[in-house]
């Protein structure tokens, strides 16, 4: 479903041969390799627990050549998790968005966040930063960094005017975008995400390489879908909070491989994000929440229950 064959297909149809995409799942973002005579550049590194597979995918795309640089769109665990392992494997320096520097320099912020949502990441050293308005070379063209706030207020996306190619991170997917935080109306994260979509519309890319999912060309359709999703969240913090809980839960199930249904309530009780969201927006209490989340996610097709265990249906 998301193996090299699909990457090859899109390489042939939508993208020049110098741009390779390892299409992954949800726990791992895609890896985008920009092959360039001045040195190959990789965008984003996946989740820490899957770093070996990521290294294998990147090695295949490099075809024996060295990796000159790794650049991150934003510093969430599914985009930076493989940074340390890739730096060890390929000796490549790392560039992060400038505004993410405080959350990487003080790694305890990452640790607190990961404990809050039950995720993990491995500390890494970066060598350079990039900010909106700056650019880098890759695949024989310039990639402009543009602010991509919303899902991550400090995130970036990278646009190559030559060929009209956008590496969108989690600012725009073919069917949606990265979750936005629940907040009382007006929700500043929704407002920011809409700004990022307006930037994309203005750039008018011919093809988008998203952080998750296949590259796509129907950008107008994707923008419309993302805007309607944000509109549904804008005035409804309860709905946003419920959505966030489901996103966080599936993400952790991908990482953990699943959970015993009987243990789900105890699990959500010990991961602070669920209590927090419930107290701020829902006020329903945690009793039965784990089982309820599993029920809703089974109905949505994201989980299935096998022999008393809820397991994800999608690839990691
Ligand atoms: Zn992501």
How many Å lie between the centroid of ligand 1 and the Cα of residue 280?
A: 25
pLDDT tens per residue across span 152-200: 999 999 999 999 999 999 999 999 999 999 999 999 999 999 999 999 9
How many Å lie between the centroid of ligand 1 and the Cα of residue 28?
A: 7
User: What CATH homologous superfamily does 4-234 map to?
Assistant: Ribonuclease Z/Hydroxyacylglutathione hydrolase-like (3.60.15.10)
Does residue 9 have a pLDDT over 60? Answer: no
How many Å lie between the centroid of ligand 1 and the Cα of residue 70?
A: 16
Q: What percentage of residues in the chain have a pLDDT greater than 90? A: 94
- Between the alpha carbon of residue 282 and those of residues 183, 238, 243, 245, the distances in Å are 12, 6, 12, 11
How many Å lie between the centroid of ligand 1 and the Cα of residue 54?
A: 15
C-alpha 65/C-alpha 166 separation (Å) is: 25
Can you tell me whether residue 207 is helix, strand or coil?
strand
Residue 11 is predicted with a pLDDT of 47
How many Å lie between the centroid of ligand 1 and the Cα of residue 274?
A: 20
Query: Cβ-count burial of 239 within 10 angstroms (0-12 exposed, 13-18 middle, 19+ buried)?
Result: middle
Joined together, the tokens standing for residue 194 give 């809409």
Residue 4 is predicted with a pLDDT of 44
CATH no., domain 237-312 = 1.10.10
How many Å lie between the centroid of ligand 1 and the Cα of residue 307?
A: 30
Q: Nearest CA to 211 among 301, 160, 148, 256? A: 148
Residues in contact with 299: Cβ distance below 8 Å, sequence separation at least 6, in sequence order: none
E strands, 46-115, where?
67-71, 94-97
How many Å lie between the centroid of ligand 1 and the Cα of residue 42?
A: 15
Q: Are 236 and 259 in contact (CB under 8 A)?
A: no
Does residue 1 have a pLDDT over 70? Answer: no
Residue boundaries of the structural domains of the chain: 4-234, 237-312
pLDDT tens per residue across span 187-208: 999 999 999 999 999 999 999 9
How many Å lie between the centroid of ligand 1 and the Cα of residue 117?
A: 14
Does residue 78 have a pLDDT over 60? Answer: yes
C-alpha 171/C-alpha 186 separation (Å) is: 19
Distance of CA 99 to the CA centre of its chain: 17
Helix axes 237-256, 219-234, angle to 10 degrees: 120
Joined together, the tokens standing for residue 186 give 């007006």
How many Å lie between the centroid of ligand 1 and the Cα of residue 151?
A: 9
Joined together, the tokens standing for residue 146 give 């543009």
Q: Indicate the pLDDT class of residue 5, thresholds 50, 70 and 90.
A: very low
How many Å lie between the centroid of ligand 1 and the Cα of residue 81?
A: 11
Does residue 3 have a pLDDT over 60? Answer: no
Give the helix, strand, coil percentages of the chain, each rounded to 5.
45, 20, 35
Joined together, the tokens standing for residue 54 give 């990521």
Q: What pTM, to 2 d.p., does this model score?
A: 0.94
Mean pLDDT of 2-29: 76
Joined together, the tokens standing for residue 72 give 């991150």
Does residue 46 have a pLDDT over 50? Answer: yes
Residue 189 is predicted with a pLDDT of 96
Residue 10 is predicted with a pLDDT of 53
Helix axes 188-203, 219-234, angle to 10 degrees: 170
How many Å lie between the centroid of ligand 1 and the Cα of residue 306?
A: 27
How many Å lie between the centroid of ligand 1 and the Cα of residue 83?
A: 14
How many Å lie between the centroid of ligand 1 and the Cα of residue 234?
A: 21
């Amino acid at each position: 479903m998301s193996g090299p064959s699909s990457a090859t297909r899109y390489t042939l149809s939508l993208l020049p041969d110098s741009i390779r995409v390892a299409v992954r799942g949800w726990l791992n973002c895609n890896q985008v390799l920009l092959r360039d005579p001045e040195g190959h550049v990789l965008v984003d590194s996946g989740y820490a627990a899957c770093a070996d597979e990521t290294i294998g995918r990147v090695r295949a795309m490099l075809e024996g050549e060295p990796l000159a640089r790794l650049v991150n769109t934003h510093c969430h665990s599914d985009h930076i998790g493989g940074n340390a392992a890739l730096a060890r494997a390929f000796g490549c320096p790392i560039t992060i968005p400038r505004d993410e520097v405080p959350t990487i320099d003080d790694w305890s912020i990452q640790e607190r966040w990961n404990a809050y949502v039950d995720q993990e990441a491995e500390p890494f050293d970066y060598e350079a930063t990039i900010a909106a308005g700056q650019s880098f070379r890759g695949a024989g063209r310039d990639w402009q960094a543009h602010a991509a706030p919303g899902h991550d207020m400090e995130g970036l996306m990278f646009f190559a005017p030559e060929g009209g190619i956008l590496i969108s991170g989690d600012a725009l997917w073919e069917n949606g975008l990265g979750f936005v935080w629940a907040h009382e109306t007006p929700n500043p994260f929704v407002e920011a995400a809409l700004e990022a979509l307006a930037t994309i519309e203005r750039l008018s890319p011919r093809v988008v390489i998203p952080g998750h999912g296949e590259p796509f060309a129907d950008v107008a359709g994707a923008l419309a879908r993302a805007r309607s999703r944000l509109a549904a969240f804008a005035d409804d913090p309860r709905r946003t909070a419920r959505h966030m809980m489901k996103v966080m839960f599936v993400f952790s199930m991908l990482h953990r491989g699943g959970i015993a249904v009987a243990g789900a309530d105890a699990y959500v009780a010990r991961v602070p994000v669920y209590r927090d969201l419930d107290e701020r927006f829902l006020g329903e209490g945690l009793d039965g929440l784990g089982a309820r989340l599993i029920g809703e996610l089974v109905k949505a097709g994201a989980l299935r229950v096998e022999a008393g265990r809820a397991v994800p249906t999608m690839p990691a």
